[in-house]
């Protein structure tokens, strides 16, 4: 039987993206189609999204009042998949980023913006929007996580869909002042520890985790880690209480977008059999970033420049990286102090270190296809996508042993080397000493080009396409629905 799933999120590639969440939401419909699961995606009508769907996308529903706002639902097709967009100009059509204003502060009405997203999802999944009917609602992150709570406490008039919440990053929880509670239209009993109340506030993610039929996160190791205070960020008790319905499914990558054999951003496309051609991409990186051309390995960083990503520690070891004989290219945006620290390091090391502050998809592809190694020293990493792209592009991942990084990279320890199976390097605890040690180990492996080549080949042969992850989600959906 074909299952009908409503995927509710604040981002979906290629329409609107600030991070890995968008890649996953964008990929799910295609990943689940082979399993006889039709995924419809519901996202807010940010200006970019409205431009992409165009004026022709019909208005299919009108809310005179949804959490105190007038809104319309527009429907469009992305390829063969249905997209629903909430048009509410007073909420979404603004200069700035999806969650913050141009000064970098959270939008003052984020509580309302994402309550509307969740309420619209719940309406669609409980018969309140004529013509729509779903078996299951899949809510992503705090922005959508109130939807299962609405389904639980205040559903629409029709059959109520089952629900799943996926945690892409438990650090972002969506907590808002209690005085907004009456505006949500939830019954008084929802204001409890069993409902939406969270340390005296309204917890959007908390509410979803409490009320959804199942909880997933984006790697098995992260699913374990969030049971502990160090990673659970206050939600560890709830996660532990619901341990039986918590699981981890690693994200996949989309080969239509990430394939070194056919990538318009690479001057020299290559396959696992033509890895020697890759050098032309390295030369292009050197040229684009003004690096000296020599035999040293080029490390790259493609990342949000934040504490989570360990960037404050990495920036401290740039001098060591250069002293060891490495070069570095950084592409990222984030914490202004870190942006300055990286830019300053580049000034200290002309020809050895280059930093581009900005967000640039094509450049990220070139770096994956031309640099030798990517450094990912995250303090925590629910799944991580850049290491998966790196594997596919023969760029060896050097990663902290946490979350999805621990699950997807095979460390080049002696046993793994003897068996010829490593795909990268891992290290414990993000400290300057540990990063310098792993960089030193990377330099040694790079000096042995046979070993290096083995890691590249293993990485390129590893299958992190959506094939496996799609199957896991399909199994989960069906089990939540009682295996129809
Ligand atoms: P997170 O979602 O925590 O930021 P992920 O590794 O899961 O981290 O996903 C990050 C995504 O954003 C990847 O697709 C990565 O290539 C992309 N990305 C991050 N920073 C940049 C940048 N400055 N330019 C281009 N792409 C970037």
136 lines ligand 1 (CB under 6 A): no
Above 90 in pLDDT, residue 216? Answer: yes
Identify whether 265 is part of a domain: no
Query: What pLDDT, in 10s, does the model give residues 66-118?
Result: 999 999 999 999 999 999 999 999 999 988 789 998 888 999 999 999 999 99
Residue of minimum CA distance from atom 17 in ligand 1: 19
* Total domains, the chain: 2
Is 162 assigned to a binding site?
no
State whether 422 and 455 are in the same domain.
yes
Q: Residue 113: its pLDDT value, please?
A: 98
Identify whether 266 is part of a domain: no
For ligand 1, the distance from its centroid to the CA atom of residue 301, given in whole angstroms, is: 10
State whether 196 and 345 are in the same domain.
no
Under the banding of pLDDT at 50, 70 and 90, the label for residue 255 is confident
For ligand 1, the distance from its centroid to the CA atom of residue 20, given in whole angstroms, is: 6
State whether 145 and 18 are in the same domain.
yes
For ligand 1, the distance from its centroid to the CA atom of residue 62, given in whole angstroms, is: 35
Identify whether 257 is part of a domain: no
Query: What 3-state class would DSSP assign to 400?
Result: strand
Q: Residue 1: its pLDDT value, please?
A: 83
Q: Can you tell me the mean pLDDT for 342-352? A: 98
State whether 73 and 201 are in the same domain.
yes
State whether 57 and 199 are in the same domain.
yes
Residue 311 belongs to domain spanning: 272-463
Q: Is the pTM of this model over 0.80?
A: yes
Contact in structure between 162 and 133 (CB atoms under 8 Å)? no
Atom from ligand 1 closest to the CA of residue 364: 25
Atom from ligand 1 closest to the CA of residue 386: 6
State whether 415 and 442 are in the same domain.
yes
State whether 104 and 242 are in the same domain.
yes
Beta partners for residue 76, in sequence order: 83
303 lines ligand 1 (CB under 6 A): yes
Q: Can you tell me the mean pLDDT for 429-444? A: 98
Above 80 in pLDDT, residue 260? Answer: yes
ipTM value, please give it: 0.99
Atom from ligand 1 closest to the CA of residue 361: 25
CA-CA distance, 332 to 355, in Å (whole number)?
8
State whether 441 and 375 are in the same domain.
yes
Residue with tokens 């070993």: 451
For ligand 1, the distance from its centroid to the CA atom of residue 64, given in whole angstroms, is: 37
State whether 390 and 406 are in the same domain.
yes
Beta strands in 116-271, from DSSP E residues, in sequence order: 136-140, 162-167, 175-176, 197-198, 201-203, 214-217, 246-248
Atom from ligand 1 closest to the CA of residue 23: 14
386 lines ligand 1 (CB under 6 A): yes
Identify whether 416 is part of a domain: yes
Q: Residue 42: its pLDDT value, please?
A: 98
Taking alpha carbons only, the member of 57, 64, 213 closest to residue 137 is 213
**In CATH, what number is assigned to the domain containing residue 396?**
3.40.50.2000
């Amino acid at each position: 039987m074909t299952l009908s799933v409503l995927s509710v999120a604040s981002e979906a590639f290629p329409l609107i993206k600030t991070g890995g969440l968008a890649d996953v939401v964008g990929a799910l419909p295609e990943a689940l189609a082979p399993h006889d699961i039709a995924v419809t995606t519901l996202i807010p009508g940010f200006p970019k999204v409205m431009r992409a769907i165009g004026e022709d996308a019909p208005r299919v529903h009108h809310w005179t009042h949804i959490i105190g706002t007038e809104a319309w639902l527009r429907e469009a097709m992305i390829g063969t998949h249905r997209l629903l967009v909430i048009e509410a100009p007073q909420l979404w059509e603004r200069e700035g980023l999806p969650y913050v204003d141009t000064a970098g502060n959270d939008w003052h009405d984020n509580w309302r913006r994402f309550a509307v997203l969740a309420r619209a999802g719940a309406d669609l999944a409980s018969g309140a929007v004529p013509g729509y009917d779903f078996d299951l609602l899949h809510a992503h992150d705090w922005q959508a996580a109130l939807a299962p709570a609405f389904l639980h406490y205040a559903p629409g008039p029709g059959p109520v869909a089952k629900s799943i919440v996926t945690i892409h990053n438990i650090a972002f929880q969506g907590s808002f002042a209690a005085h907004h509670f009456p505006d949500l239209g939830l019954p008084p009993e929802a204001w409890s520890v069993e409902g939406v109340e969270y340390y005296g506030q309204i917890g959007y993610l908390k509410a979803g985790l409490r009320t959804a039929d199942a909880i997933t996160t984006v790697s098995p190791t992260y699913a374990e880690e969030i049971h502990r205070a160090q990673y659970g960020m206050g939600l560890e008790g709830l996660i532990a209480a619901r341990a039986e319905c918590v699981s981890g499914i690693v994200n996949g990558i989309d080969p239509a977008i990430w394939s070194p054999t056919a990538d318009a951003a690479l001057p020299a496309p290559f396959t696992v059999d033509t890895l020697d051609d890759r050098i032309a991409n390295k030369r292009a990186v050197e040229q684009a970033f003004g690096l000296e051309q020599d035999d040293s390995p080029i490390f790259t960083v493609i990342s949000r420049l934040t504490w989570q990503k360990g960037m404050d520690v990495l920036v401290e070891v740039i001098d060591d990286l250069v002293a060891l004989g490495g070069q570095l290219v950084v592409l990222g945006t984030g914490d202004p102090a870190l942006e300055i620290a990286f830019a300053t390091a580049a000034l200290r090391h002309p020809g050895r270190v280059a930093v581009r502050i900005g967000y640039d998809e094509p450049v990220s592809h070139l770096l994956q296809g031309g640099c030798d190694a990517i450094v990912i020293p995250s303090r925590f990493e629910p799944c991580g996508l850049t290491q998966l792209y790196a594997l596919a592009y023969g760029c060896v991942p050097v990663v902290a042993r946490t979350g999805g990084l621990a699950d997807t990279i095979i460390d080049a320890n002696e046993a793994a080397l003897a068996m010829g199976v490593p795909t990268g390097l891992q290290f414990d605890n993000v400290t300057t000493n540990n990063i310098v040690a792993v960089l030193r180990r990377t330099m040694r492996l790079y000096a042995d080009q046979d070993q290096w080549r083995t890691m590249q080949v293993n990485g390129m042969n590893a299958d992190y396409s959506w094939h496996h992850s799609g199957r896991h989600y399909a199994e989960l959906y069906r089990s939540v629905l009682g295996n129809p």
